[in-house]
């Protein structure tokens, strides 16, 4: 019995990279979540990552200071 193999190339999934200056596991998690999901609110981050808002405010502030993300009204997005 012969097997037919699909030789068409399949698109590769790009794994988002984490900036090297991020050392905190929580900051990396927030950054990766934003990279994968695009624009996100604080409430969406809190729900998805099961983190306290106070911690998220601190992390988001640091990411903004390092110009890794932008805040657009109530939404956060990775700076391209």
The answer to whether 68 and 74 have CB atoms below 8 angstroms apart is no
Between 53 and 8, the more confident residue is 53
User: Domain coordinates of the chain in residue numbers?
Assistant: 25-78
Residue 1 has pLDDT above 60, yes or no: no
Domain 25-78 in CATH 1.10.540.10? The answer is no
37-80 pLDDT per residue, tens = 989 999 999 999 999 999 999 999 999 999 999 999 999 999 87
SS (H, E, C) the chain: CCCCCCCCCCCCCCCCCCCCCCCCHHHHHHHHHHHHHCCEEHHHHHHHHCCCHHHHHHHHHHHHHCCCEEEECCEEEECC
Per-residue model confidence (pLDDT) at position 16? 66
Q: pLDDT band at 2, cuts 50/70/90?
A: low
């Amino acid at each position: 019995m012969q097997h037919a193999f699909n030789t068409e190339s399949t698109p590769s999934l790009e794994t988002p990279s984490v900036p090297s200056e991020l050392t905190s596991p929580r900051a990396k998690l927030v950054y990766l979540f934003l990279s994968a999901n695009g624009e996100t609110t604080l409430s969406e981050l809190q729900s998805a990552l099961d983190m306290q808002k106070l911690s998220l405010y601190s992390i988001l502030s640091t990411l903004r200071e390092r110009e890794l993300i932008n805040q657009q009204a109530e939404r956060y997005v990775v700076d391209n």
